[in-house]
Amino acid sequence: MKTINETNYVDKAEKAILSLRDKAEQQQRGRREPKIVTTSKIRNLLAMTADIYNQVMICQNDKLSDDLKGRIEYLRVRFMYECGREPLVKNFVKEADILPILKEINGSKKNYILFSRYMEALIAFHKYYDGKDW
């Protein structure tokens, strides 16, 4: 994968969350609390990712079946739908480069596992850096 790999996905997740937090703080100057995507929204996105992850882990080959590839494509559609419903989700997905990363999976078991870990890292840093739904 070009966007993330085994050595940089944690740093990229941290950078994305910090950038979202900083942008939210700049936009919300003078108001009570700046807002980025809520923990529950991120967890919903992770739940969709985890459902496929469980099936990917059962797969014996590094190349995923057409069924799993189709589910990953549908996952991309669901992420886009959530972006359309909620501007904060759109900011999150864009800042974290989630849609390009989903494209880079390209039917690879290894790449999907890396994407799943990246999603977990995003949640971990969201919680670590305050844990509030800014």
- What global pTM score does this model have? 0.90
pLDDT in tens, 96-133: 999 999 999 999 999 999 999 999 999 999 889 866 54
**Lookup: tokens for 7:** 């050595």
pLDDT tens track for 9-63: 999 999 999 999 888 878 766 555 557 788 788 888 899 999 999 999 999 999 9
Say if residue 20 is exposed, middle or buried (CB neighbours under 10 Å; 0-12, 13-18, 19+): buried
